[in-house]
């Protein structure tokens, strides 16, 4: 980190062991994502209620390139936060999940759905359970009965438009559709 870790406690005095736990958890986050530039952690004891014990509020602010990640663990939402260790654990687990999501975005690892390929059936050999479709670029793709969704193969006709996905590996008839959906 470019800035030192800031830890604040409100309405309570805690032993140094709690601070050590927070330092370890922040170090784990840094090992996971080494581009954290600043981090602050606030631990607050909420007002005591007659029916409830101590409730802890945890807030973690992480500064990363292009974004601030804020994690709040409100005691009203999480009754288990009567235990400080549980509240800290939950907050840091949430921070890690948010960092994972952010890391996927900056790595462009988020799935993007391609525009479906559209083609038309150019030949069918129904008795042999296969046919061919023609792509928009004029190439032909082999279509086996098993690649057509549902019982759609029997309903296919020459000239029918279909949406398709080409299998990564070519078959013995050249490019082969792994999925075909009649339109």
Written as one string, the DSSP assignment of 86-141 is HHHHHHHHHHHHHHHHHHHHHTT-S--PPPPEEEEEEEEEGGGTEEEEE-TTS-EE
Give the DSSP letter of residue 84: H
Task: Look up the CATH number of domain 6-106.
Answer: 3.30.160.100
For residue 13, the model assigns a pLDDT of 82
Mean of pLDDT over the chain = 85
Nearest Cα to 100, choosing from 110, 113, 111? 110
Contact predicate 41/28, CB 8 Å: no
For residue 135, the model assigns a pLDDT of 92
Task: Look up the CATH number of domain 117-182.
Answer: 2.40.50.140
User: Can you give the residue ranges of every domain in the chain?
Assistant: 6-106, 117-182
Q: What is the per-residue pLDDT across 109-137, written as a single tens digit (0 to 9) for each?
A: 655 566 778 999 999 998 999 999 999 88
Angle at 100 between CA 109 and CA 97, to 5 degrees: 140
For residue 75, the model assigns a pLDDT of 58
Contact predicate 135/93, CB 8 Å: no
Side-chain half-sphere CA neighbours of 182 within 13 A: 15
pTM given for the model: 0.56
């Amino acid at each position: 980190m470019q800035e030192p870790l800031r830890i604040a406690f409100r309405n309570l005095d805690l032993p140094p062991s709690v601070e050590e736990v927070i330092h370890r958890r922040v170090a784990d986050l840094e090992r996971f994502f080494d581009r954290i530039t600043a981090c602050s952690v606030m631990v607050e004891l909420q007002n005591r209620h007659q029916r409830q014990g101590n409730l802890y509020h945890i807030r973690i602010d992480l500064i990363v390139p292009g974004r601030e990640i804020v994690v709040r663990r409100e005691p009203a939402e999480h009754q288990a936060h009567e235990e400080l260790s549980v509240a800290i654990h939950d907050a840091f687990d949430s921070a890690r999940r948010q960092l994972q999501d952010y890391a996927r975005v900056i790595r462009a690892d988020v799935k993007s759905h391609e525009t479906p390929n559209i083609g038309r059936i150019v030949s069918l050999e129904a008795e042999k359970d296969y046919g061919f479709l023609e792509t928009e670029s004029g190439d032909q793709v082999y279509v086996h009965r098993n690649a057509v969704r549902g019982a759609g193969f029997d309903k296919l006709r020459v000239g029918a438009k279909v949406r398709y996905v080409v299998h990564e590996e070519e078959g013995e008839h050249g490019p082969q559709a792994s999925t075909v959906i009649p339109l």
